[in-house]
Copies of this chain bind each other. A is one copy, B any other.
Amino acid sequence: MREKRCGRGAWWQDRFQDMGARITAPREVVLDILHETDDHVSATDVYVKAHEINPTIGLTTVYRTLDMLTQMGIVQKFDFGDGKSRYELVNNPDGKKHHHHLICLRCKTILDYTEFLDDELEFIGKTQNRLSKKYNFNITDHAISFYGFCEQCK
Contacts and interface: CB of A to CB of B under 8 A. Distances in A.
A76 B146 CA distance: 12
Nearest to A104: B137
22 contacts: A73-B147, A78-B79, A79-B85, A102-B139, A111-B137, A115-B130, A116-B127, A119-B126, A120-B123, A120-B127, A122-B123, A127-B146, A135-B151, A136-B150, A136-B151, A137-B149, A138-B150, A139-B147, A139-B148, A140-B148, A141-B146, A141-B147
Copies in the complex: 2
A141 B104 CA distance: 11
Q: How large is the interface on A (under 10, 10 to 19, 20 to 34, 35 or more residues)?
A: 35 or more
B105 A128 contact: no
Nearest to A144: B144
Interface string A72-94: 01001111010001000000000
Interface of A: 70-71, 73, 76-79, 81, 85, 102, 104-106, 111, 113, 115-116, 119-120, 122-123, 126-128, 130-132, 134-151, 154
